[in-house]
């Protein structure tokens, strides 16, 4: 019996086994809205969520057995929560940072890459296709190389020079001459369908959203039940993942109430924060529904506020973060 199904927010459902199609199955065939993985309750067993779970233990509650048996892992997940120095100085509110730079390629996308590349291997695909502004491309390149497969990464001409070097060093084949990410995503989809490889673009593969919700599970595993969670938003997928992760815990009775999620977006064209630009393959429909459900909100951040947040994190917390990360902290400082 399937432990999950693919679902859109309107409730149209597709059997979970369809995940084993090589097609990029990311839109609902009925209403064309974004699809996500919905866990199904198992009679008598509940969700199987426990107080303390490592990444593969968590995802294996739901995914078919071969995922665990054939897993490509470099030690993703189980990242630390770092307490703010403000907590020691008698502040009324306690603040924690979930340090996703502790993942193998230094980004949270490793959680998704581990599942996607494992899936590519289960499906006997030799090539993995991924459109990315940087982090996902680096993650997919690392895991694909480790699995003995070929990564084809599609990006635009503004890709960060550090991410570019990281992708190439891992052995990913980088195509970065596209004028915009929309063009790169179009071509990635087209070439993957033509060549029959595996589609690992975060916006085109519901396993990405599923992998990222483990972040919420880990925060609660560490004994923190947040009132509010601040998240940088681009296409909206990460915020939805966190909402889904906390919602699992709330539905299982593990946390008493849902945290309020705050999405931090940017109001600047600064190329340093290109990961936060919305594309035409946005998952914002899911994000908006999630924000409504948890009474969350969005806060818009300017370039100067990002710069101030980078400086504050470095000088008061000892944390050196990339601009797209600082956006979330800028929202916390601004509220």
Interface contacts to Zn ion, rule CB under 5 A: 8, 10, 12, 28, 30-31
**Which is closer to Zn ion, CB of 6 or CB of 136?**
6
Of residues 32 and 93, the one with the C-beta less far from Zn ion: 32
- Cβ distance to Zn ion smaller for residue 32 or 195: 32
Please, what is the minimum distance in Å from the beta carbon of residue 27 to Zn ion? Answer: 8
Q: Which residue has the CB atom at the shortest distance from Zn ion?
A: 28
Distance CA 266, CA 11 (A): 31
Cβ nearer to Zn ion, comparing 28 with 220: 28
Please report how close the Cβ of residue 285 comes to Zn ion at its closest, in angstroms: 10
Strands 228-232 and 198-199: unpaired
Nearest to residue 67, comparing CAs of 109, 116, 7, 138? 116
Bridge-based pairing of strands 228-232 and 260-266 is parallel
Q: Reduce the secondary structure of the chain to three states and give it as a string.
A: CCCEEEECCCCCEEEHHHHHCCCCCCECCCCCCECEEEECCECCCECCCCCCCCHHHHHCCCCCHHHHHCCCCCCCCCCCEEECHHHHCCCCCCCEEECHHHCCCCCCHHHHHHHHHHHHHHCCCCEEEEECCCHHHHHHHHHHHHCCCEEEEEEECCCCHHHHHHHHHHCCEEEEEECCHHHHHHHHHHHHHHHCCEECCHHHCHHHHHHHCHHHHHHHHCCCCCCEEEEECCCCHHHHHHHHHHHHHHHCCCCCCCCEEEEEEECCCCHHHHHHCCCCCCCHHHHHHHHHHCCCEEEEECHHHHHHHHHHHHHHHCCCCCHHHHHHHHHHHHC
Least CB distance from residue 77 to Zn ion, whole Å? 30
Nearest-approach distance from CB 11 to Zn ion, in angstroms:
7
Q: How many CB atoms lie within 10 A of CB 66?
A: 14
Nearer to Zn ion, 30 or 91 (CB): 30
Which candidate, 184, 238, 166, 179, places its Cα nearest to that of 208?
A: 238
Nearer to Zn ion, 30 or 165 (CB): 30
Q: How far is the CB of 41 from Zn ion (least distance, A)?
A: 21
Residue 38: CB minimum distance to Zn ion, A: 12
Nearest distance from C-beta of residue 31 to Zn ion, angstroms: 3
Q: Which is nearer to Zn ion, 34 or 141 (CB)?
A: 34
| Of residues 24 and 215, the one with the C-beta less far from Zn ion | 24
Q: Nearest approach, Cβ of 35 to Zn ion (angstroms)?
A: 8
Tokens of 65: 């057995």
Closest separation in Å from C-beta 34 to Zn ion: 9
**CB-nearer residue toward Zn ion: 10 or 93:** 10
């Amino acid at each position: 019996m399937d432990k999950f199904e693919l679902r859109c927010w309107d409730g149209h459902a597709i059997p979970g086994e369809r995940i084993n199609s090589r097609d990029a199955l990311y839109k609902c065939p009925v209403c064309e809205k974004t699809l996500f993985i919905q866990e199904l309750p198992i009679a008598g067993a509940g969700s199987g969520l426990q107080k303390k779970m490592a990444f593969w233990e968590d995802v294996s509650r739901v995914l078919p057995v071969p995922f665990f048996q054939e897993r490509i892992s470099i030690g993703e997940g189980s990242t630390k929560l770092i307490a703010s120095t403000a907590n020691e100085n008698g502040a009324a509110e306690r603040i924690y940072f979930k340090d996703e730079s502790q993942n193998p390629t230094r980004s949270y996308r490793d959680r998704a890459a581990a599942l996607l590349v494992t899936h590519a291997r289960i499906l006997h695909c030799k090539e993995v296709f991924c459109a990315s502004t940087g982090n996902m491309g680096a993650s997919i390149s690392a895991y694909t190389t480790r699995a003995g497969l070929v990564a084809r990464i599609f990006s635009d001409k503004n890709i960060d020079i550090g991410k570019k070097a990281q992708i190439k060093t891992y052995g990913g084949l980088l195509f970065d001459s596209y004028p915009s990410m929309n063009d790169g995503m179009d071509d990635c989809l087209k070439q993957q369908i033509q060549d029959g490889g595996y589609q690992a673009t975060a916006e085109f593969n519901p396993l990405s959203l599923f992998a990222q919700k483990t972040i919420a599970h880990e925060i609660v595993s560490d004994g923190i039940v947040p009132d509010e969670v601040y998240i940088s938003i681009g296409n909206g997928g990460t915020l939805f993942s966190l909402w889904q992760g906390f919602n699992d815990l709330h539905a299982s009775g593990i946390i008493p109430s849902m945290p309020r999620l705050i999405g931090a977006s940017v109001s600047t064209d600064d190329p340093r924060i290109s990961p936060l630009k919305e594309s035409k393959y946005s998952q914002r429909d899911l994000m908006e529904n999630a924000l409504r459900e948890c009474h969350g909100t969005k806060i818009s951040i300017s370039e100067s506020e990002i710069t101030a947040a980078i400086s504050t994190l470095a000088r008061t917390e000892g944390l050196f973060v990339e601009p797209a990360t600082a956006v979330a902290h800028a929202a916390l400082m601004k509220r």
